[in-house]
């Protein structure tokens, strides 16, 4: 089937596109603000529109109802009550689907399923990336604090590390928070 | 502390929610509120219906459309509090505004009162039709909005049929100025700061304000699913108290300036504070060179005097929805079930 993808996150759009192509669908992608969404819907011949829940362009799609006359206007998939649990999953994952009039909602479910799975994978990857970034930041702070302790108190690297660890345990803080304290104090001492 | 998540759309009239959060009014009543920014009304509606959000700022007609099953997905809703009144405007592209004034053949200050576009619009529509150009196209922010109904009334005042004579489409407010410049639309009805942005960039001219079309109309409300609101009566009551305090706090002009910098921040509107300050203070300019005038009523927020939906508010809305053909003339509308409610109790509680 022909799927029109509306997502203002280019990276995620690429992921979802790859997954849908693999499932044998043809993809038309929309890129705001370069494209006029109404014109793209008109000319693309899409059977179904898969949109990111958070994109402002969704309101434009909802607005097609106002123009009502033309037969090939998309309608919201959530109309179909049988699809309600899927709709709830989709909302939680951040993806919405619109089917074009005349298509059975059941035929859209597999497409939406693929999109939901990819959206969730995208979110997991973003979380992992954020975690590894903050781990790297923590590492740097701890190293700086260690350096200050080695210079200021003449400790060996091992003892400096041990001191940070012990203090963290004693105060039930994270090591990076103790390190932040040491750095703040170090800055204060310099002034 | 009770944890809650409330949705909002980055607009000037989200002020009461943002002020209640930033000034600690939520915390004062034991609520730990997370404000969730939504870029689309449809996204906010879906999250509300599926319980991802506990409550949300909503366009005044949304909860009624949802309760009547006009919108999908639908659910019975409660909207006991008016967060804001007024604040909308109709902006036209500069060349359309020129043509309109030529068609009127009299100085703009002598045009029809009450924000009506005067006789100039009709010839413009007929000329388009004769040359089979695309019809005059206006954008609104969402199908279930006062913007759409106010635009309808404005067009009718010019003797036009809003369905047959023009095209009305939905364009998200952040894209409206670009769509106007690119000629995809000829005008729009939106809230602030979007009229101001189109006017100050020179692309558009403000034709009228919602204040002139529907004086003191309820614009945004606080909406919940009925089943959630009924099961969390006490939380709703505390939420209303916090928001009434925020609405009261927002009344003096110096507080509005302070609010402008709260709203401007990244998690909220993420726009220049000066832009938001001008609209919160009620400065209205019809074009870039217009020194402007201050309309004190341009934004009213949920102070106790303005926070309860009254019969006039809802009757005007239901009349507009019937005129638009959204609600059949014969269908009874139990608006009390949606907009009725406990604001007065909350107002008494904060006075005590």
| Bridge-based pairing state of the strands B55-59 and B2-8 | parallel
Beta carbons within 8 Å of B327's beta carbon, 6+ residues apart:
B68, B70, B318, B321, B333
Q: How far is A19 from chain B (nearest CA, A)?
A: 24
Whether B172 sits inside 8 A of A56 (CB atoms) is yes
Report how far residue B33's alpha carbon sits from residue B63's, in angstroms, rounded to the nearest whole number.
21
Residues of chain B with pLDDT below 70 are 102-119, 352
Out of B72, B168, B174, whose CB is closest to A66? B168
Reported as a single tens digit per residue, the pLDDT across A39-55 is: 888 888 888 999 998 88
Long-range contacts: A70-77, Cβ < 8 Å, 24+?
A71/A101, A72/A100, A72/A101, A73/A100, A73/A101, A74/A41, A74/A46, A74/A48, A74/A49, A74/A98, A74/A99, A74/A100, A74/A101, A75/A99, A75/A100, A75/A101, A76/B72, A76/B73, A77/A105, A77/A108, A77/A112
Q: How far is A107 from chain B (nearest CA, A)?
A: 19
Hey, what are A184's tokens? 């703040």
Reported as a single tens digit per residue, the pLDDT across B250-287 is: 999 999 999 999 999 999 999 899 989 988 999 888 88
pLDDT for the residue B259: 97
Hey, what are A20's tokens? 């849908």
What is the three-class DSSP state of B269? coil
Hey, what are A12's tokens? 């995620």
Whether B73 sits inside 8 A of A76 (CB atoms) is yes
C-alpha distances in angstroms, A184 versus A151, A155, A180, A190? 15, 19, 6, 10
Whether A58 sits inside 8 A of B140 (CB atoms) is no
Q: How far is B84 from chain A (nearest CA, A)?
A: 22
The verdict on A63 touching B (C-beta cutoff 8 Å) is yes
Whether A54 sits inside 8 A of B174 (CB atoms) is no
User: How many beta carbons lie within 10 A of that of residue B226, not counting itself?
Assistant: 18
pLDDT for the residue A16: 93
pLDDT for the residue B113: 46
User: How many beta carbons lie within 10 A of that of residue B179, not counting itself?
Assistant: 24
Whether B170 sits inside 8 A of A54 (CB atoms) is no
B71-83 exposure pattern, b = at least 16 Cβ within 10 A, e = fewer = bbbbbbbbbbbbb
Q: How far is A167 from chain B (nearest CA, A)?
A: 31
In a mutational test of the A interface, the residue from B36, B38, B43, B48 whose CB has the highest number of chain A CBs within 10 Å is B43
Reported as a single tens digit per residue, the pLDDT across A15-29 is: 999 999 999 999 998
Reported as a single tens digit per residue, the pLDDT across A68-118 is: 655 556 777 766 666 677 888 888 888 988 887 677 777 888 888 899 999
The verdict on A53 touching B (C-beta cutoff 8 Å) is yes
pTM: 0.86
The verdict on B174 touching A (C-beta cutoff 8 Å) is yes
Whether A66 sits inside 8 A of B41 (CB atoms) is no
Reported as a single tens digit per residue, the pLDDT across A123-168 is: 899 889 989 999 999 999 999 999 998 988 888 999 999 999 999 9
The verdict on A170 touching B (C-beta cutoff 8 Å) is no
Report how far residue A21's alpha carbon sits from residue B129's, in angstroms, rounded to the nearest whole number.
43
Residue with tokens 């345990």: A169
Report how far residue B100's alpha carbon sits from residue B92's, in angstroms, rounded to the nearest whole number.
10
The verdict on A58 touching B (C-beta cutoff 8 Å) is yes
Whether A53 sits inside 8 A of B141 (CB atoms) is no
- Are B174 and B89 spatial neighbours (Cβ–Cβ below 8 Å)? no
What is the three-class DSSP state of B186? coil
């Amino acid at each position: 089937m022909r799927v029109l993808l509306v997502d203002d996150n280019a990276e995620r759009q690429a992921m979802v596109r790859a997954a849908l192509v693999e499932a044998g669908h043809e993809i038309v992608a929309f890129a705001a603000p370069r494209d006029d969404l109404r014109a793209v819907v008109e000319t693309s011949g899409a059977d179904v529109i898969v949109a990111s829940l958070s994109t402002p362009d969704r309101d434009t799609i909802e607005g097609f109802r106002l123009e009502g006359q033309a037969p090939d206007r998309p309608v919201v998939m959530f109309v179909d009550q049988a699809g309600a649990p899927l709709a709830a999953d989709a909302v939680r994952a951040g993806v919405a689907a619109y089917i074009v009039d005349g298509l059975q909602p059941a035929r859209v479910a597999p497409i939406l399923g693929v999109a939901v799975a990819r959206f969730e994978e995208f979110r997991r990857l973003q979380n992992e990336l954020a975690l590894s970034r903050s781990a790297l930041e923590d590492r740097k702070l701890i190293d700086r604090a260690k350096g200050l302790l080695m210079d200021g108190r003449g400790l060996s690297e091992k003892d400096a590390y041990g001191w940070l660890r012990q203090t963290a345990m004693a105060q039930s803080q994270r090591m990076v928070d103790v390190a932040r304290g040491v750095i703040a104090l170090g800055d204060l001492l310099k002034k | 502390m009770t944890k809650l998540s409330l949705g909002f759309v980055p607009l000037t009239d989200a002020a009461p929610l943002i002020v209640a959060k930033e000034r600690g009014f939520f915390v004062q009543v034991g609520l730990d509120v997370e404000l969730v920014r939504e870029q689309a009304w449809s996204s906010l509606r879906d999250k509300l219906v599926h319980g991802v959000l506990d409550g949300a700022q909503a366009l005044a007609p949304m909860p009624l459309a949802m309760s009547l099953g006009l919108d999908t997905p639908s659910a019975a809703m409660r909207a006991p509090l008016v967060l804001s009144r007024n604040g909308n405007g109709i902006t036209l592209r500069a060349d359309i505004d020129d043509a309109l004034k030529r068609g009127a053949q009299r100085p703009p200050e002598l045009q029809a009162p009450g924000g009506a576009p005067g006789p100039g619009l009709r010839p413009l529509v007929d000329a388009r039709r004769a040359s089979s150009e695309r019809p005059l196209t206006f954008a609104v922010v969402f199908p279930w909005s006062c913007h759409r109904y106010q635009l309808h009334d404005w067009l009718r005042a010019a003797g036009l049929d809003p369905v047959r004579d023009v095209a009305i489409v939905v364009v998200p407010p952040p894209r409206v100025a670009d769509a106007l410049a690119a000629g995809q639309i000829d005008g729009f009805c939106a809230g602030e700061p979007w009229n101001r942005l189109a006017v100050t960039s020179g692309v558009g001219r403000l034709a009228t304000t919602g204040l002139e079309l529907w004086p003191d109309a309820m614009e945004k409300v606080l909406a919940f699913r009925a089943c959630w609101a009924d099961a969390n009566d006490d939380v709703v009551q505390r939420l209303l108290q916090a928001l009434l305090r925020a609405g009261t706090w927002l009344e003096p002009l110096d507080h509005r300036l302070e609010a402008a910098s709260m709203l401007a921040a990244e998690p909220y509107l993420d726009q220049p504070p000066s832009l938001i300050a001008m609209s919160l203070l009620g400065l209205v300019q019809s074009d870039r060179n217009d020194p402007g005038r201050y309309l004190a009523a341009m934004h009213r927020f949920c102070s106790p005097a303005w926070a309860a939906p009254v019969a006039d508010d809802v009757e005007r809305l239901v009349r507009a929805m019937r005129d638009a053909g959204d609600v059949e003339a014969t269908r009874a509308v139990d608006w009390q079930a949606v907009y009725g409610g406990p604001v007065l109790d909350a107002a008494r509680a904060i006075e005590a």
